[in-house]
Amino acid sequence: MRTLACIFSMCIASSAWSSFKCLDDKGIAHFGDSPPAACANATTFEVSASGNVIRRIDAPAAAPDSGELAQKREMDRARDRSLEMIKGRIESASLRMRQLEQREKDLSRAIASYGKGVSPAGLHADLESVRAEEASVAATHARYTREFEETGRKYEGDKARWIELRASR
C-alpha cells in the first residue's frame, strides 16, 4: 500500500512540475524553475514536465520614446518610408531602361543582318517604338530622381521648421 501511495504522489508531483524557458536577445535558451532573469525582456514560456506549453508570458512592452526625440525619429521614419517608395520606382524604371536598351541592340543587329538588302518594315517599326518608349522611360526616371531629391529636401525642411518652432516655445 505504501508503494502505491508513493507512486501516486510521484505522478501527481511530476504532473504539477513546470519550468520556464526563453530565448534571450542573443538567441541563447535559458531554463529555470522560475522565469530566468536573463530573459527579463523576452517572451517566456511556462512548460510542463511533458514539454507542453502551459502559458506564454509576453515580454514587457518597451517604454515609448517621449518628447522631442521620439517626434524626430518618427519624422525620419516617415521620410525613409516615402523615399523608399520613390527609390523602388527609380529602380523599376532603371530595370526597364536596361531591358529597352537590350531590345534596341537586338533589333539593330537583326536589321544589320539583312545587310544592304531590304529588311522587314516591322523591324524598323519595332525599333522606333522601342526608341520612343526608351525616351519616355528616361523622362520618367529623371522625374522620379527629382521627386526623390525634392522629397528628401522637403522632409528636412519640415523637420528644421519643427525644431525651430519647438525652440521658440
Would you say residue 62 lies in a domain?
Answer: no
Q: Which of 20, 37, 57 is the last residue of a domain?
A: 57
Query: Residue 2: its pLDDT value, please?
Result: 58
Both 75 and 157 in a single domain?
Answer: yes
Both 162 and 98 in a single domain?
Answer: yes
- Would you say 123 and 110 are in contact if contact means Cβ atoms under 8 Å apart? yes
44 — pLDDT class (breaks 50, 70, 90): confident
Q: Which of 17, 37, 57 is the last residue of a domain?
A: 57
Domain around 111: 67-167
Number of compact structural domains in the chain: 2
Which tens digit of pLDDT belongs to each residue from 116-130? 778 888 898 999 999
This prediction has a pTM of 0.56
Would you say residue 115 lies in a domain?
Answer: yes
Is the pLDDT at 4 greater than 60, yes or no? Answer: no
12 — pLDDT class (breaks 50, 70, 90): very low
Average pLDDT, the chain: 82
Both 88 and 149 in a single domain?
Answer: yes
Query: Residue 118: its pLDDT value, please?
Result: 80
Which tops the pLDDT comparison, 12 or 59?
59
Both 41 and 112 in a single domain?
Answer: no
Both 75 and 100 in a single domain?
Answer: yes
Query: Residue 126: its pLDDT value, please?
Result: 94
- Cell numbers linked to 94: 532603371
Query: Residue 149: its pLDDT value, please?
Result: 95
Burial zone of 151 (CB within 10 Å; 0-12 exposed, 13-18 middle, 19+ buried): middle
- Give me the mean pLDDT over the 32-40 stretch: 75
Both 43 and 117 in a single domain?
Answer: no
CA distance 161 to 7: 76
Both 80 and 147 in a single domain?
Answer: yes
54 — pLDDT class (breaks 50, 70, 90): confident
Both 141 and 120 in a single domain?
Answer: yes
- Would you say 122 and 46 are in contact if contact means Cβ atoms under 8 Å apart? no
Both 10 and 86 in a single domain?
Answer: no
